[in-house]
A and B are shown apart, each in its own frame.
Chain A
Amino acid sequence: MLLDLSEEHKEHLAFLPQVDGAVVAEFGRIAVEFLRRGANPKVYEGAARKLGVSSEAVQHGVEGLTYLLAESARLMISELDFQDSVFVLGFSEELNRLLLQLYLDNRREIRTILGELAPSLPSYHSLEWRLDVQLASRSLRQQIKPAVTIKLHLNQNGDHNTKVLQTDPATLLHLVQQLEQALEEMKTNHCRRVVRNIK
């Protein structure tokens, strides 16, 4: 699959051949940092001054590069497709190679970052548990009521959430049994076939 680059995008990227390889590599680093932590306009100004160009040109160059890397990583395009997509920009062999290297080096990390952007439900983080025995309450004395207290740690959109819950041993066994069945499902022929064939 080839990347479809808009005219505006191509214009922004046209800045790259004007600077030498080391600078492009630096822009690449800034671009990935941009994806990790968000844009930092001060970086643009420093670079612009050093190169003797407008900070806007630097910004466009970095943004263009960021978008190129992010889109390529999102679609998980192959090396060949990446090279062909970049070819239309008419850059030098050396620049093309540099861009490809940038893509391959950072692809995994970018995909991890993009993965965090998906609409998500709270996801499991960890679980703490404790076994208690209730001995008495205001309404009934001399009890022996075992209970398992669980602190469930969940993550959602970067927020950490904890829920404190309780259950009795019988229900706990039932829960464990159900979840074991869930795990067993992955080993069935049906699931194995799907995982093997959809790649």
Chain B
Amino acid sequence: MELSESVQKGFQMLADPGSFDSNAFTLLLRAAFQSLLDAQADEAVLDHPDLKHIDPVVLKHCHAAAATYILEAGKHRADKSTLSTYLEDCKFDRERIELFCTEYQNNKNSLEILLGSIGRSLPHITDVSWRLEYQIKTSQLHKMYKPAYLVTLNVENTDSRSYPEISFSCSMEQLQVQY
């Protein structure tokens, strides 16, 4: 995992009990996870009375550092020992390392789901609806008497968040052969 100096500096500040007492540390950590995982989260996530005494620039820096690290760790599926090693290097004490690892463990699944859902993929079929009709006549052909199926596939496009539908008609025989 390659992490920038900025992340390292942010963590070093987080490690310092002078800048962040125990309570503030926990709050910031939780705020970082919340920003990433909660779809409803916004900037107000750092608006806690117990964080007011900290310089907002420092607060933002550390929040960004934590979020960046969490994403990198999630991406590489870091285990506890990898996390511990890095945090030790940043001068975290035992207690804070434990806290971080516990929070990470609690949020690991959601994080992986989030990361797994990012990316390009083909249009994804989500559902199918069908209609069975009995064709009697058309303007070109009378006395038809033929059953036919109209199948509609609901498709989701991950990029554009568009939901086109694909509809097509098919006969009974074709439907049977399909699978």
Contact = CB atoms under 8 A, between A and B. Distances in A.
B169 A198 contact: no
Interface string B135-176: 010111111110101110101000000000011111010111
Given A74-B141, A117-B140, A166-B125, A137 B119 contact: yes
What is the predominant secondary structure among interface residues of chain B facing chain A?
Answer: mixed
B37 interface: no
A79 interface: no
A51 interface: no
Given A118-B140, A139-B119, A191 B128 contact: no
A123 B170 CA distance: 6
Interface residues of B, number: 47
9 contacts: A118-B138, A121-B168, A127-B178, A140-B74, A164-B123, A165-B123, A179-B175, A182-B151, A195-B145
Contacts of A137: 116, 118-119
Interface stretch (A10-18, A39-47, A61-69, A141-149): A141-149
Contacts of B170: 123-124
Interface in B85-122: 112, 115-116, 118-119, 121-122
A182 B119 contact: no
Interface of B: 74-77, 112, 115-116, 118-119, 121-130, 132, 134, 136, 138-145, 147, 149-151, 153, 155, 166-170, 172, 174-176, 178-179
A98 interface: no
A111 interface: yes
B119 A143 contact: no
A4 B144 CA distance: 21
Contacts, number: 130
A139 B75 contact: yes
Given A74-B141, A74-B142, A191 B179 contact: no
A139 B118 contact: yes
Interface in A32-55: none
A172 to B, nearest CB: 8
A76 interface: yes
Given A140-B112, A142-B77, A166 B124 contact: yes
Contacts of A124: 151, 168-170, 174, 178
Contact of B130 (A75, A123, A178, A195): A178
A146 to B, nearest CB: 13
